[in-house]
Amino acid sequence: MIEALVSGKLHGQPAQKISKTGKPFVVAKVRAHAGDAVALAGSLTPKAWTDPEGITRPALDLVASQVLSAYHVTLKRRALERKPLDPSEPQPSRRPDGPDELDDGAPLDF
């Protein structure tokens, strides 16, 4: 087993399936050579498959334990923006003229 962190773009539509024990899971293809629309972390297993012409090709199977997408980032940002401030808790220092020094205000490239 190899622990991996992979980022890429979804290729095709994810498909929900049911295991033999009745537990639901999702199968998806990710192209990791370009872009960062999704990030996956989990157990990576190298495999091989044979195409219709009989040529053996490499493949990687990743059982993801964590998934992060642009949707998740946007959802988290919106939740943090709506969170009411508790005056009794120490607040992070912010410049009075705008966001803190780690936030340039630009959207993430997910």
Q: One-letter amino acid identity for 84?
A: P
The whole-number pLDDT of residue 57 equals 93
Look up the domain containing 29 and give its range: 2-72
- Interval 77-105: pLDDT, tens: 888 877 666 667 665 554 445 555 555 66
The whole-number pLDDT of residue 31 equals 80
The answer to whether residue 23 sits within a structural domain is yes
The answer to whether residue 93 sits within a structural domain is no
The answer to whether residue 17 sits within a structural domain is yes
The answer to whether residue 100 sits within a structural domain is no
The answer to whether residue 91 sits within a structural domain is no
Confidence of residue 110 (pLDDT cuts 50, 70, 90): very low
- Interval 28-73: pLDDT, tens: 888 876 575 788 888 988 999 899 999 999 988 888 888 887 777 7
| Domain count across the chain | 1
CA 47, 49, 55, 57 torsion-angle sign: negative
Q: Show the CA angle centred on residue 33, arms to residues 28 and 34, nearest 5°.
A: 95
Does pLDDT of 20 surpass 70? yes
Give me 78's structure tokens.
Answer: 């919106």
The answer to whether residue 43 sits within a structural domain is yes
The answer to whether residue 34 sits within a structural domain is yes
The answer to whether residue 92 sits within a structural domain is no
CA 94 vs CA 84, 97, 102: distances in Å: 16, 8, 10
